[in-house]
Chains A and B, each alone.
Chain A
């Protein structure tokens, strides 16, 4: 059986679901191999576009959020491709060490493929010597392609909100993947991981409602959940235990971080209080209630519930001994629920 043309295999190395400009993807590799993140992103984009059309004042924030969310997804995609590259490389090395299966199956061996690739590179270099201007043209084209892939201003704005969100998200993904690749070259995985987290945090800071839209809430309910929380907070020592009156509703007993949104507070509350899992939403929304299970989060374990449910003021007063307890509780709690 003849192996697919070298060019189509080489497309895997470009690490992009969307073909780079000027290169046509052919054969079975033209179909994305890992579509689920894109599907999820498309769903969120469509809901976000409807919201932005209704609230044009949030348009610039939404575009920025799509860009940053795309960057986070690009980092993940970069990690996936890095891992896939390692697996492919390992398979290639294995095939080079043992070419017999390839020979028996009538495929090109790893050695023959290496020779083909070297030949193609050699041809390109020879042709470049014959026509030096070609190298310059190709380099210029590569820079133009990179600009179009990485900078929003290098390509025209899309005709409608949904397409523009998709364009910004796609550019963000390219930026994120490039960032992940550069970061992994520099210091490896940990930094790449931090870059992804930072992208996510920045996106949520700029457009927190996107998080709840992605969880399946209507844009109106999502906007409500993204507003500042003004409720009672979570009581660390339950009121029914009748703690001293100076303590019961004080900052030492009420967990209610400054600037937290409704949705964040509900999530925080549910993670530390096993009896809180659902909260009613105003009847004007189609969504009748906020539900913890939609968040995709898990509750803390019993010890970690004590630690994470403790207000910052109490942690600060307790100092080192509480920090030691917290460290242990966090470990036990997180692991206890796996």
Chain B
């Protein structure tokens, strides 16, 4: 089974990166993270607090029925990247996998329905066994063999 790990998409949200004349004071993505958190709350998940992680972006959790999934959102200027962070070893448990599958499918449906998000693509972690794919990498954001569009 291929696990989808990274979503790349664009949004109508204003750029909320905070910078002074020289440096980035706070990386963007807070508004989009809050919006995704609200969508997940609407789907019945309990959403944790946003945690700012500097250049990594914004991390938050969502859970239900004793299962929890962590999401990391990074604003990369041209697009946004949402990474699924599986807890160690949890990904091996069939119950967790079922939860994850249900979660991602629900989230994808909700994002596709929401008019504020566009061009959503999911990528699987292939090619780099110890890292996640870079949606801005080779081939740009064109749908690659490892990309899926859930509808």
Interface residues of A (CB under 8 A from B): 230-233, 235, 239-240, 266, 269-270, 273-283, 288-289, 291-293, 299-302, 305, 336-337
Contacts and interface: CB of A to CB of B under 8 A. Distances in A.
A277 B77 contact: no
15 contacts: A231-B55, A240-B51, A240-B70, A273-B56, A274-B131, A275-B72, A275-B83, A277-B131, A278-B136, A279-B27, A280-B77, A289-B136, A292-B134, A293-B134, A337-B129
Q: Is the interface of B mostly helix, strand, loop or mixed?
A: loop
Interface of B: 15, 17, 19, 22-24, 27-28, 51, 53-56, 59, 61, 70, 72, 74-78, 81, 83, 85, 128-132, 134, 136-137
B15 to A, nearest CB: 8
A239 B19 CA distance: 24
B56 A275 contact: yes
Given A278-B136, A280-B77, A288-B78, A299 B53 contact: no
Contacts of A275: 56, 72, 83, 85, 131-132
Nearest to A274: B131
A280 B23 contact: no
Contacts of B128: 274, 299
B131 A280 contact: no
B56 A302 contact: no
A228 to B, nearest CB: 11
Contacts, number: 86
Nearest to B77: A288
Contact of B53 (A239, A281, A302, A336): A239
Contacts of A282: 19, 22-24
B18 to A, nearest CB: 11
Nearest to A301: B130
A299 B54 CA distance: 20
Nearest to B28: A280
Contacts of A292: 131, 134
Given A275-B132, A300-B130, A337-B130, 4 more contacts: A232-B55, A235-B53, A269-B55, A278-B76
Contact of B54 (A231, A283, A336, A337): A231
Contacts of A239: 51, 53, 59
